[in-house]
Amino acid sequence: MASPESTVRGSAEHCIFLWLGGGMAQIDTFDPKRQSSDGRKDPGSAYGSISTAIPDVQVTEHLSRTAPLLDRAALVRTVHHDEIDEHSAASCRLHTGRPVSGTIVYPSLGSVIAHQKEPLSDAVPSYALMGHPTPGRSPGFLGPDYGFVYLNDTKSGPKGLVRPKRISEDRDARRLKLLAQARENYTARNAGDAAINEYVRTSQKGFDLVGPEFLSAFELDREPADIREAYGNEFGQRCLLARRLVERGSRFVEVSFNMGFVNGTGWDTHNEGQQKQHVLIQTLDQALSTLITDLEAKRMLDKTLVVVSTEFGRPARFDGGGGRGHHADNFTCVLAGGGLRTGQAIGETDELAMKALGFRVSVPDWFATIYAAMGINPSEELYAGDRPVPITDRGTPISELFSVSGCRDNLFSPSTEMPPAVPPAAAGTPGAEAPPSGSRSTGNGSAAPRSELFIPQVEPSPPADAAETVKIKPAATEKIATKLEEPSQEATWFDRVRKAISASVSVIVHLLLFIALALWMLSAEDEEHPLVLATSWSEEEGDTMAELEEFAPSVEIETSDAIEAEVIEVTDPFDQIEMPAPVPADPILDTMGVVGGGSVEGDVNQVLQGRAAGNRAALVLSGGGNEFSEEAVALGLKWLARHQHSDGHWSLHEFHLTGDCNGQCTGGGSQSNTAATALALLPFLGAGQTHRAGEYQDVVDKGLKWLVQTQQPDGGFLGPDFRMMYGHGQAAIVLCEAYAMTHDSFLREPAQKAIDFIIDAQNAIGGWRYVPEQTPGDTSVFGWQIMALRSARMAHLEVPDKTFELAETYLERAQVDEYGSRYAYQPRGGPEAAMTAEGLLCRQYSGWRPDEPGIARGVNYLLQEHFPNPERPNIYYWYYGTQVLHHLGGPNWAMWNSTVRDAVINTQHKRGHMAGSWDAVGPQTSSGGRLYMTAMSICILEVYYRHMPLYGEMAVK
């Protein structure tokens, strides 16, 4: 390892991070040992091995293109950590350099690089992510300024950044001028308002990303056909896009091998996957070898560090299914380019690549090496608030990769101790010191010198019309090298109006409205979280410029003759959304206090405060909602109201027989009118609509009366469905919430009787199932009953403590680990994502704090192993997971919310008779059908105000 006195400040300016999620088998790739006799049963690799450009170093035969290029790379064969058998925790560690913490969210490698290295251009993102946006990839405590731009399409770039054809350049220019004038007016009047400045700065960052520098990177068809073909399939094309992004100034680009899995887990080769592993290796070989030669041909390799990483390796022995398990005690990662001393293998392993023989590289050492290569002092300190946090967890760079001779001017300041902690206010944000110009060292470990491949370091220069090509040896790569050229300057409409981007009129106006509302809802001393503003092109035609007067903000804007607007007035950013009529201020809700930091029992009476008049819009903005989520809620409530039966009930299986529908809707479910009516009423109550006030007052009134009339004398809600406790729990929630919101004495007795029925139906071990006292219970039914009991406590109804105490017994049986972080459908079962989310929500309401190990580990399990995939909706899981993350807030909530919110909004029917509803898609939706899917989706979009956060991060001030 390097000492502080011998650690060189590296010369790399960019990093391309290739993530092989799932666990690459070192013995089958870069550290092959002992070929087995029959290809399956004996320990060792089933593949042959071949020589490389590094003397006496071999790799698998399936890396035939990369092998002759390894004098440009270094194999680090003895990386290790102690996350034994968990993809999520190991993935997080290989993205942040640290284990998962229950008290702090550490920033990712990409975020730290974006923080430490000055942006090269405002027109491209410093940190681009082509992989699932899990917490390990987030900016953590560094904040959203150092987060990623999420890219999931190599052809078009982020959605919403392309100007619609119907918007002319002249019209766009007028919009930009109006926006600029509004911005100047606001900032002039509120120069010292941090919230306003944050909005302006954040929105400008969005506008900056739509110039030619960024969007032209996605025009891969402008590359020579041979180059595109050389990169290979989808993974290779993403590698090509990564090269084009760093070429334009991006500091860090992560490319996940397989975007189709939550963790990019294409390398999770258990069982039969082992038989197909060679396809994965050959895909990596094609993309990696082409990326290296491509970067070198463009004279970018010495300035670009290519990292190949995975979360752990694989053991030598095959398991019963013919695959390999997990092995974190020793695995291989790869570094290429970046001005390092390449052409060597770091570390020696035993005969089966299972153990290191002597020299070992910890994850902190691995990160320190990457940071040092990027010219970042690995001993630097970051700040989580006022708390100093070292960039690495006492990591030391691998000295063999750095050339010290003749580079004494380029050393990090020698220090054997951490520098003294200086608060950020005094020290400012440390910037990366630019490395001095000069030639790179040709030292390359044990490899033979490659003087014929020496490429002097050059400072980054703008793209030229025709770049000089560099002839690359060996001969197998010459054809590719001579084809590689810089992209030509493309003349687009952006070149005439640089950074000319705006949304439709509605989006521009809402941007102004957001800023106006911020003046009212935020103050410098109250707001602790950075503000994030999303901008995009609207899919719908906006209002014409002449209509701006009708809803303009109450500020004066200087205008020219081309813009006929003088005064814009507005008080609510959602005025243009056709929402239900506002509910008058409720004296009961208005007396509720702010959600604070005490016990959940003490705060539960305040959970419905967000539904009160005046709170909703503020909570939508602060919590992560937007005008589109509110439009979807409004449209959904309309659909539900139109499909109520005349006697007040709703039906899962016969909603299409209502007079308004008359068979136009599809997607019927099972027969359960109690559940249907309760589910339909929940989103009305969530939007603040009651039987006493609101546009849907009559709808809610009829629904509540139907429930009360069908309640049995013992308080139960019986029906033809044998799973009666589902519907009963949902009906009990409705009655308790309606009573809590109105204190109508008509509802008190039915609500209390429904709760008493739940108490009596609890089984001996604290659970509930389909019918009263059925054992052992299941977590799905359990969750609805717990939410009903909590709603009863909120409404000041009687619930004995022993009921909750016994419920804790069931949760302890349903949890599958010692922490209570994962939950099964039934005791003794395996963990499931939806049941874990439901179990965690119950734990939150029982009083567990955010720093409980079970909460921290459970949320990490959800985010890392089961991050929502918009292409595979799971509405039941999303319903509970959204509530859990909303209560916690922070960057994890921001990532979850943006994904689920947009997925739900985008799948709603917007036109025709079914407008406002959702198709029944995903697990367990066939029995619920369209009505169930619609009610649950609306509740997800109401999360910002339906229940106040238990831990107070977004409470109304």
| pLDDT score of 570 | 32
Q: What is the pLDDT of residues 824-863, one digit of tens each?
A: 999 999 999 999 999 999 999 999 999 899 999 999 999 9
Same-fold call for 4-158+219-460 versus 587-946: no
Q: Which residues pair with 80 in a beta bridge?
A: 362
Place 150 in a pLDDT band, splitting at 50, 70 and 90: confident
| pLDDT score of 195 | 66
Residue 460 has pLDDT above 50, yes or no: no
Token pair 């102690």 in the structure block, residue:
82
Place 901 in a pLDDT band, splitting at 50, 70 and 90: very high
User: Residues 134, 867: contact at Cβ < 8 Å?
Assistant: yes
Q: 3-state SS string over 157-210?
A: CCCCCCCCCCCCHHHHHHHHHHHHHHHHHHHHHCCCCHHHHHHHHHHHHHHHCC
Q: Whole-angstrom distance between the N-terminal and C-terminal Cα of the chain? A: 52
Place 687 in a pLDDT band, splitting at 50, 70 and 90: very high
**What's the mean pLDDT in 579-606?**
38
Highest mean pLDDT among 268-272, 628-632, 878-882: 878-882
- Percent of the chain surpassing pLDDT 90: 52
Mean pLDDT estimate for the chain? 78
Name the CATH code of domain 4-158+219-460 (choices 3.40.50.300, 2.60.120.1360, 3.40.720.10, 3.40.50.2300).
3.40.720.10
Residue boundaries of the structural domains of the chain? 4-158+219-460, 171-207+503-568, 587-946
Q: Is 720 left (phi over 0), alpha (psi -120 to 50) or beta?
A: alpha
Q: What is the pLDDT of residues 19-64, one digit of tens each?
A: 999 899 999 999 998 755 555 556 788 889 999 999 999 999 999 9
Q: What is the pLDDT of residues 724-762, one digit of tens each?
A: 899 999 999 999 999 999 999 999 999 999 999 999 999
Domain 587-946 part of CATH 3.40.50.920: no
Q: 3-state SS string over 294-361?
A: HHHHCCCHHHEEEEEECCCECCCCCCCCCCCCCECCCEEEEEEECCCCCCEEECCECCCCCCECCCCE
User: Residues 757, 728: contact at Cβ < 8 Å?
Assistant: yes
Taking residue 674's Cβ as centre, other Cβ atoms within 10 Å add up to 26
Cα(926)–Cα(726) distance, rounded to whole angstroms? 16
**Three-state secondary-structure class, residue 563:** coil
